[in-house]
Amino acid sequence: MDGGEGDAVVIGGGLAGMLVVRALLGHVRKVTVVERDRYPDGPAFRKGVPQARHLHILLTGGQEALEELLPGSGAELAAAGARRLDMPRDLLTCGLTGWQIRFHEGRHSLISCTRPLLDHVVRTRVLAAAAASGTAVEVVEATDAVGLLGGPDRVTGVRVRPRGAGRQERDMDADLVVDASGRASRTPQWLEALGRAAPAQESVDPGLQYASRVLRLPEPPGTGVYVQYRPDNPAAGGLLPLEDGTWILTVSGIGGLDVPTDEGGFAEFTSGLAHPYLHELLRGAEPLSPVIGFRDTSNRRRRYEAPGGVPEGLVVVGDAACSFNPVYGQGMTVAAVGALALRDALADGGPRAGLAARAQRAVARAADAAWLTAVGADRPYVDAGQSSAPGLGERFTSWYVERLVARAAVDPVVGSAFRDVVALTAPPSRMLAPAVALRTMLLRRRPALADPPLGPVPATRR
């Protein structure tokens, strides 16, 4: 592969940052990744990705994007023990109206493994691809990006500070800077320091808290289990298999419900879910990790793609641009699809005039479907004073999605459209296809199953 022209600096070498490196290969001469942490030798937790202690699933849309960027990554994850759950067969799901019907549809799956394993596979594959490319890639670990260089109209590099006593700040020049530093991104403040307005920000905060722990189960179920929160019960819990035969339990509370992280409170929390199945399943479970909480979970989108949102030379990706209520499992998929969008925007030449705005629009489009579905589903739980007001379109989306979700639990036609959208393989307009819309709006509401469908599973159901 040929190298390209110009140098890029990527701030943050997490999932989005590494996938951006992959997207840049062949399009720039050199990429320097500035990463706050030191990487562990293998798949291990690191401080810069605190959410990695919690349940992480990769949706079909993310699997496809990852495979396109890094062919063979799915097989490598499987060889390392990552589990593939066919949907809806392999995840018993208790939704708004009860348990979903379960059957083998064979169109969607979730990959379930620890986040450190996923990050490790992505990082090693990206660095291997870099070594075989014409683009030089350098990863500068244990170093913080602390500001942007340039002026209001053009970013020309990054100021960095190595960690450790007495280390001096230094400047890294770049033709293109990509911010992939996650939820804690400081680009809005850095742009203001350059004399440019921070981007407009939208937030929809349903007040969600998370707590997670890894367990060994005496009698593991043959499926994952997810009991969703709903307007009459703000508690949720998900139990999924990990690569080493252990299980991760993540519980959450919405609308400000306190999720305990002490031993007794955490163990009792699942007794308050909408159905007792998950709580009973956990009897005799052996804790293998401490209970870890997480609270910074709002949907938050910075509108860098708006006209004038980014100066020349800067693109913002991943959670730094758009982050989601994590229960929908969308963030990593959006990061991967966004990296593909950046790659395509670079396709007719490397860094050049107008690239930043164009690439930023493409990255934003990659997040649109996930944003619409997450905020549409979260609106019923949002404290009106806390978040930006919903528009007419968003209010209709909330009403329609609520009806559709209830129908999807029992109706394979509506369920199939719903799965396409939540797996991020089809735009939300798929939920408005005539057959789906008619069934959603005209058929009488039917409750879902009262108990989890544990018996034999039909091969297909249409």
Ligand X SMILES: Cc1cc2nc3c(=O)[nH]c(=O)nc-3n(C[C@H](O)[C@H](O)[C@H](O)COP(=O)(O)OP(=O)(O)OC[C@H]3O[C@@H](n4cnc5c(N)ncnc54)[C@H](O)[C@@H]3O)c2cc1C
Stretch that binds ligand X, among 147-155, 176-184, 267-275, 374-382 (CB under 6 A): 176-184
Among 99, 190, 229, 294, binds ligand X (CB under 6 A): 294
Grouping H, G, I as helix, E, B as strand and the rest as coil, residue 121 is helix
Helix (H) or strand (E) holding 7: strand 7-11
End-to-end CA gap in the chain? 46
Stretch that binds ligand X, among 53-61, 163-171, 400-408, 430-438 (CB under 6 A): 53-61
Grouping H, G, I as helix, E, B as strand and the rest as coil, residue 50 is helix
Among 29, 49, 141, 220, binds ligand X (CB under 6 A): 49
Q: Nearest approach, Cβ of 25 to ligand X (angstroms)?
A: 17
Q: Nearest approach, Cβ of 422 to ligand X (angstroms)?
A: 12
DSSP for 225-292, please give it: EEE--BTTB-EEEEEEE-TTS-EEEEEEE-TT-----SHHHHHHHGGGSSSSHHHHHTTTPEE-S--E
Residue 435 in the binding site for ligand X (CB under 6 A): no
Among 7, 90, 144, 305, binds ligand X (CB under 6 A): 144
> 206 is written with which tokens?
């349903």
Q: Nearest approach, Cβ of 139 to ligand X (angstroms)?
A: 11
> 303 is written with which tokens?
């509108």
Among 57, 82, 137, 339, binds ligand X (CB under 6 A): 57
Among 27, 56, 196, 419, binds ligand X (CB under 6 A): 56
Residue 150 in the binding site for ligand X (CB under 6 A): no
Among 8, 22, 32, 36, binds ligand X (CB under 6 A): 36
Among 31, 129, 130, 145, binds ligand X (CB under 6 A): 145
Residue 378 in the binding site for ligand X (CB under 6 A): no
The residue (of 63 and 440) whose beta carbon lies closer to ligand X is 63
Tokens 């996923």 belong to 118
Residue 309 in the binding site for ligand X (CB under 6 A): no
Residue 14 in the binding site for ligand X (CB under 6 A): yes
Residue 251 in the binding site for ligand X (CB under 6 A): no
Residue 149 in the binding site for ligand X (CB under 6 A): no
The residue (of 298 and 440) whose beta carbon lies closer to ligand X is 298
Stretch that binds ligand X, among 55-63, 253-261, 300-308, 359-367 (CB under 6 A): 55-63
Long-range Cβ contact pairs of 436-441 (< 8 A, separation 24 or more)? 436/404, 439/407, 439/411, 439/413, 439/414, 440/400, 440/403, 440/404, 440/407, 440/414, 441/400, 441/403
Number of chain positions touching ligand X (CB under 6 A): 37
Residue 330 in the binding site for ligand X (CB under 6 A): yes
Residue 293 in the binding site for ligand X (CB under 6 A): no
Cis before 88 (ω within 30): yes
Grouping H, G, I as helix, E, B as strand and the rest as coil, residue 149 is strand
Residue 181 in the binding site for ligand X (CB under 6 A): yes
Q: Nearest approach, Cβ of 253 to ligand X (angstroms)?
A: 13
Whole-number Å distance between alpha carbons of 246 and 287: 10
Residue 224 in the binding site for ligand X (CB under 6 A): no
Residue 35 in the binding site for ligand X (CB under 6 A): yes
> 358 is written with which tokens?
């164009």
Residue 11 in the binding site for ligand X (CB under 6 A): yes
Stretch that binds ligand X, among 10-18, 240-248, 369-377, 454-462 (CB under 6 A): 10-18
Q: Nearest approach, Cβ of 189 to ligand X (angstroms)?
A: 11
DSSP for 325-389, please give it: -GGG--HHHHHHHHHHHHHHHHTT-SS-TTHHHHHHHHHHHHHHHHHHHHHHHHGGG--TTTSPP
Stretch that binds ligand X, among 274-282, 305-313, 331-339, 442-450 (CB under 6 A): 331-339
Q: Is the dihedral of CA 443, 447, 452, 455 positive or negative?
A: negative
Whole-number Å distance between alpha carbons of 123 and 202: 31
Stretch that binds ligand X, among 33-41, 265-273, 361-369, 437-445 (CB under 6 A): 33-41
Whole-number Å distance between alpha carbons of 156 and 134: 23
Comparing CA positions, the residue from 40, 130, 122 lying closest to residue 80 is 122
Point out which residues bind ligand X (CB under 6 A): 11-17, 34-37, 48-49, 51, 54-57, 144-145, 180-182, 184, 210, 294, 297, 318-320, 326, 329-333, 335
